[in-house]
Amino acid sequence: MESTGKVKSFNLLKKLGSYGLMFKKGDFFTKTSFFIMGFGSFMRKQLFAGIALLFIQLTFIVFMSTSGLKFLTGLIKLGTMTQGKVWNEEMGIYIMSKGDNSMLFLLFGVATIFVVIAFIYVYFANIKLAYTNQQLIQEGKRPMRFKETVNILLDEKFHITVLSLPVLLTFMFTIVPLVFMILIAFTNFDANHQPPGNLFTWVGFSNFTSVLWDNPLKSHTFSSLLVWTLIWATFATVLNYLFGMILALMINKKGIRLKKFWRTIFVVTIAVPQFVSLLLMSRLLADQGPVNLILQSMGWVKTFVPFLSDGNVARVTVIVVNLWVGIPYTMLITSGILMNIPVDIYESAKIDGAGPIRQFTAITLPYMLFVTTPYLITQFIGNINNFNVIYLLTGGGPLSLNLYQAGKTDLLVTWLYKLTVNYQDYALASTIGIFIFILSAFFSLVVFNRSSSVKKEEEFQ
Amino acid sequence: MKKLFVAVLALVLVTSMSACTKVKEKITLKVWAPQEEQVLLASMVEAFKKANTGSEYTIELGVVSEADAKTKYLEDPEAAADVFMFANDQIKDLVKSGSLYEITKNKAAIIAANVPGSVEAATVGGKLYGYPMTADNGYFMYYDSSVFTATDVKSMEAMLTKAAAANKKIFMDVSNGWYIASFFLGAGNTIKIGTDGKQVVDFNNAKGLAVGEYIKSFTANPAFLTGDDNILKGGIGTTIAAGVSGTWNAADIQSKLGANYAAAKLPTIKLGGVDTQMGSFGGFKLIGVNSLTKAPLAAMALAEFLTNEANQLKRFTTRSLGPSNIKASADPAVKANIALAALAAQSPFAVSQNDVLGTYWAPAEAFGLAMETKDYTKTVQQLLDALVAQVNS
Amino acid sequence: MIKSMKTRSFIYNTFIHLILSIMSVIWLLPIAWLVLVSFREEPGAYTPYLIPKSFTLSNYTRLFTETKLFNYPRWFLNTFIVAVLTCLISTMLILLTSYALSRLRFKLRKPMMNIALVLGMFPGFMSMIAVYHILKAFGLTQSLAALVLVYSGGAALGYYISKGFFDTIPKSIDEAAMLDGASKSQIFWKITLPLSKPIVVYTILTAFMGPWMDFIFVSVIMKDNYRNYTVALGLYQMLTRENIYQYFTRFAAGAVLIAIPITIIFIYMQKYYVSGITGGSVKG
């Protein structure tokens, strides 16, 4: 059960209190560990842990004193010195003096905050370790040696070993940039405030208020693009999934020959880079493109079919082309999982007289949905943000004067991208991005946690 | 004593001699240019080093196309080149972000040496921020001389009639803010920047309405064809008899048309019974100096060298890029280049893009698209009003 | 009646074979066009006809001989190295992470799954610039090592597919092994992995493919370092306004060449893509 916010903060206080208690009850070694990390471990012959902790403490102190503090204070104002110039008569040019780069101030400040948090975590772990060791000795047992720790890390605490590197990398390359981007929404980082010549600074919530209360054309564009984005994401996800699964079933079925051959054909289409295939498609389906030429020469249509140039036709085209792009992927994934369904379930169903369709709806579909619910959610959200397919195929077009700087197949993300590229209004882009993010996150968390896959996880296994 | 004196004298002489030979200053510069320019650039850089032996230069070349220069610069200004080539439509943003070093050395000489349009494109707020390099990023009319005579291409109406008769097409990418402006600019509409820094266009006034109606009938004409460069290059000489485009396609179009290769300035269009010359956007390529450079004097010297008369001429001979240098463009070889001659004929009617902001492009394209797809659900006036509303917002 | 069941089966199967054939043709058409264009002699990105007028191998040979402007061989090598390294690192990261989240129970498990689900949802373009500067702080810009880090760094977030697969392996197998005294680590390497061949194949394939396809990240990280470009970015450069007419056919040839290693890997891995063994081991 998830604890509520109030209970959580109460727990935090309790925890802090417990550390205070550890200090009080601690012996000399433990107390010193509060100031020299690793002391407790070191003195109790946990050489490796002791040295490692001390090393971390020293590195942190060096880092903070040389650059860390600077980065943290830089966060307050995001730079004060603007680019300056002084006329130098002798050389005949201006001598430029470098200004502060607000963007870098923000980024490094955020990174330093994470470093500080990480250090605090290690610090408390260090104290806990010292105290635990003390308790062990009081009970007459010996603190863990290196070899024993390694063994535990490979068994009970295997998750720590296994997850430490991914977590570190994710922090560095996903979380820090994400926080950085979110914070930009609270600044005025736009075309008029571009480094290196200009500074930007905090503006609180003013971006949010201006987006929500802005002109009617922009709100109309936002709502109609939102509707299309949801329609697109639904069709794209559901159709790709269903057809991919059906395709996988067909290939997997007993009695179908050349299974490898069929699979390879479809894999070839994903082996060609997506931007190449999409570019090809946009050429093939152009008004004067080969597909139209063939259709006209065969007499099936009189004039060219506006696959990509008519708003409504383009929307259908985009969904269909996305099928072409996506079905090989869904086929591969569902294929692998399908193969894991125990064959005996099907056998007993057949004996009970169930036909193929009944087998599908009663066995295959529920099983697949169960296993792939997180995948489906992520695909849906991914399609909401599916920049590539739309942008490379139609560029978001055809443009319409009913929409503000947007076209009929634009998703919210492609519209956002165009706004940023045309205006360099990063603050606005981040603000709208946050709205999209909140919507997506809320939706997916709710569905994910309520879905049967999470509830029945234990039962299933 | 004498020996000692001679020894001391010799010592003094030697030390004073070594003090005379100064240690050469070491200067490192980085230059950005597109891939197609790299070979030429390498030879020009070598020539620069030979001409400036006073310092020891290490010059590194990087590949960044002119169109990407601004983006690549802003991603990391400190890692950007000291000297870089960029398209003039980026200059406003570059100046606003403080990326360009103001050019004050030899400013008068540079201004005098280059075509006024290119200097205007390199100037913001009265200050010079770039060294003009090429003056050929505008557009004009290519045509098949076996279909059209030189007189035909003077008027759009004449061209359309002849093309229809020969069952060929006239190509123009009307759903493109860059090309569609030619109609409006020629008629006297303006694209300006207001006092609040926002874009102001007047395309929905009476003049603009006449233009809009003209575009409507032009795109409805059976001899009209739209598309992109690839369609023009694919069909010229066969299904397409003339097309509006720029010098970047000259070589390919020439190879397709062979002896029938010809080009001229844009024709006139009949507005309210009067033959009105179509306008156009003029584009230039400039070389800028990074405001964060550690060697400003050297960088400026290099930039000036790369854009001097001799090197601009070299660029023309190797890559057919039209020079912005006045003397270089007077060179007979340049004058004989058909595409450049057409561009030069069009340039009196060309307007610089310096005052065009980002909000202009999408609405203009949307309007052109509505005309091309013959989407007449709204009147031309309504569409133009919507266009102006979006651009001016 | 056995006979009618057999014929029903036969008709059914033939029907499916027919559908598969039609689908294959549809799927392969654009690829076929790509291959045709790669052998086409006439330049240009737009031709009013489908079958080239004259065929040539020069597009392929010129990719490798005319390297002054577009150094395809070097890019190919770059991308191959990055792909192999990324493949190794990413696959390990993904499989370990999904195993931990599927099999092991620890305090932060649910929150971690939720966070990972949500992390990919922010539509951000500034993240690339942020990542670039973070790499720069470590002195890693414009290098292939930086690319490998970037591609593998966020890999663990794609855990949900593998985790879904691991969830379908019955826990009874794990429990049997633990009774025999195996540690969690041993269970992972010796039991779970061998049973998960289809998903391992899928993970390896997608991890290997990533670097061949991306041209956005590499453009930000490599900037002007032309020699370290990957194939995707290099091909993309062939499509600029100035280049596309002369280079479109070579672009097609380059794209075909990219598809080859990926297809080969898949064909090779098909051996391991066998039907589930789990059914058997539970019964037994």
Give the domain ranges of chain C.
Answer: 60-283
Q: How far is C177 from chain A (nearest CA, A)?
A: 13
> From the list B292, B296, B390, which residue is nearest A196 (CB)?
B292
Q: How far is A172 from chain C (nearest CA, A)?
A: 8
| Neighbour tally for A335: CB within 10 Å | 21
- Whether the predicted pLDDT of B191 surpasses 60: yes
Confidence of residue C278 (pLDDT cuts 50, 70, 90): very low
CATH number at residue A413: 1.10.3720.10
Chosen for mutation from C6, C7, C18, C20 (greatest number of chain A CBs closer than 10 Å) is C20
Q: Which of C250, C273, C270 is nearest to C262 (CA)?
A: C270
Q: How far is B38 from chain C (nearest CA, A)?
A: 9
- Whether the predicted pLDDT of B18 surpasses 70: no
Q: Is residue A209 part of a domain?
A: no
Could you name the CATH architecture of C60-283? Answer: Orthogonal Bundle (1.10)
Considering just the CA atoms, what is the radius of gyration of chain C in Å? 24
- Whether the predicted pLDDT of C126 surpasses 70: no
**Matching residue, tokens 């052998």:** C39
In whole angstroms, what is the distance from residue A53 CA to residue C233 CA? 44
Confidence of residue B219 (pLDDT cuts 50, 70, 90): very high
Let me know whether A173 and A238 are in one domain. Answer: no
In whole angstroms, what is the distance from residue A413 CA to residue A432 CA? 9
Contacts of B197 in chain A (CB under 8 A): 192
Q: Is residue A274 part of a domain?
A: yes
Let me know whether A188 and A231 are in one domain. Answer: no
Per-residue pLDDT reduced to its tens digit, C171-226: 888 888 888 887 777 888 888 887 777 778 878 888 888 888 888 788 888 888 88
Let me know whether A219 and A199 are in one domain. Answer: no
| Neighbour tally for B196: CB within 10 Å | 6
Query: What is the model's pLDDT at position C266?
Result: 76
β-bridge pairing B55-63 and B25-33: parallel
Query: What is B313-373 written as a DSSP string?
Result: HHHHHHH-PPB-BHHHHTSHHHHH-HHHHHHHHHGGGEEEGGG--TTTHHHHHHHHHHHHT
What residue in C sits closest to B67 (Cα-Cα)?
C240
What residue in C sits closest to B238 (Cα-Cα)?
C48
List alpha helices for A89-205, DSSP H: 102-138, 146-154, 158-170, 176-184
- Whether the predicted pLDDT of A461 surpasses 60: no
Let me know whether A100 and A182 are in one domain. Answer: yes
Confidence of residue B375 (pLDDT cuts 50, 70, 90): confident
**Tokens, residue A430:** 């981040």
Let me know whether A107 and A159 are in one domain. Answer: yes
Span B165-169, average pLDDT: 93
Let me know whether A165 and A249 are in one domain. Answer: no
Query: What is the model's pLDDT at position A211?
Result: 66
**A399 touching chain B per CB within 8 A:** yes
> From the list A151, A170, A286, which residue is nearest C153 (CB)?
A170
The residue ranking higher by pLDDT, A67 or B153, is B153
Q: Do C184 and A158 touch (CB under 8 A)?
A: yes
In whole angstroms, what is the distance from residue A179 CA to residue A93 CA? 41
Per-residue pLDDT reduced to its tens digit, B44-56: 999 999 998 888 9
Let me know whether A130 and A268 are in one domain. Answer: no
| Neighbour tally for B86: CB within 10 Å | 27
> From the list A198, A288, A405, which residue is nearest B362 (CB)?
A405
Confidence of residue B107 (pLDDT cuts 50, 70, 90): very high
- The DSSP symbol for B154 reads G
The residue ranking higher by pLDDT, A383 or C116, is A383
Query: What pTM, to 2 d.p., does this model score?
Result: 0.83
Query: What is the model's pLDDT at position A452?
Result: 52
**A140 touching chain B per CB within 8 A:** no
Q: How far is A12 from chain C (nearest CA, A)?
A: 15
Query: What is the model's pLDDT at position A451?
Result: 65
Confidence of residue C135 (pLDDT cuts 50, 70, 90): confident
Query: What is the model's pLDDT at position A370?
Result: 77
Span A381-410, average pLDDT: 83
A258-292: string of b/e by CB count within 10 Å (b at 16+)?
eeeebbebbbbbbbbbbbbbbbbbbbbbbbbbbbb
- Whether the predicted pLDDT of B104 surpasses 80: yes
In whole angstroms, what is the distance from residue B182 CA to residue A240 CA? 45
Which helix (H) or strand (E) covers residue C85, if one does?
A: helix C72-103
Q: How far is C93 from chain B (nearest CA, A)?
A: 30
- Subunits with 3+ C-beta pairs closer than 8 A to A: B, C
> From the list A191, A196, A217, which residue is nearest B98 (CB)?
A196
> From the list A103, A333, A340, which residue is nearest C202 (CB)?
A333
In whole angstroms, what is the distance from residue B303 CA to residue B285 CA? 13
Let me know whether A130 and A234 are in one domain. Answer: no
Q: Which residues contact A110 (CB under 8 A, 6 or more apart)?
A: A75, A176, A179, A180, A183
| Neighbour tally for A342: CB within 10 Å | 17
Confidence of residue C277 (pLDDT cuts 50, 70, 90): very low
Span B126-149, average pLDDT: 92
The residue ranking higher by pLDDT, B257 or C279, is B257
Let me know whether A438 and A301 are in one domain. Answer: yes
Span A106-111, average pLDDT: 87
In whole angstroms, what is the distance from residue A182 CA to residue A170 CA? 17
Contacts of C141 in chain B (CB under 8 A): 79
- Whether the predicted pLDDT of A1 surpasses 70: no
Span B10-14, average pLDDT: 61
Confidence of residue B211 (pLDDT cuts 50, 70, 90): very high
Residue ranges of domains in chain B, CATH in brackets: 25-136+283-349 (3.40.190.10), 140-282+358-392 (3.40.190.10)
Let me know whether A247 and A334 are in one domain. Answer: yes
Let me know whether A172 and A269 are in one domain. Answer: no
Per-residue pLDDT reduced to its tens digit, A7-44: 556 677 777 777 777 777 777 777 777 777 777 677 76
Query: What is the model's pLDDT at position C282?
Result: 31
Q: Given CA atoms A56, A62, A66, A68 in this order, what sign does their dihedral have?
A: positive
Domain count along chain A:
2
Span B300-312, average pLDDT: 94
Highest-confidence segment of A204-218, B174-188, C256-270: B174-188
Query: What is the model's pLDDT at position B265?
Result: 94
- Whether the predicted pLDDT of B22 surpasses 70: no
Q: How far is C147 from chain A (nearest CA, A)?
A: 12
Domain range for A236: 214-460
Looking at every residue in chain B, the average pLDDT score rounds to 89
**A435 touching chain C per CB within 8 A:** no
Measured at the alpha carbon of residue C192, what is the angle toward residues C188 and C194, in degrees to the nearest 5?
Answer: 115
What residue in A sits closest to B92 (Cα-Cα)?
A191
Measured at the alpha carbon of residue C46, what is the angle toward residues C43 and C49, in degrees to the nearest 5?
Answer: 95
Query: What is the model's pLDDT at position A456?
Result: 55
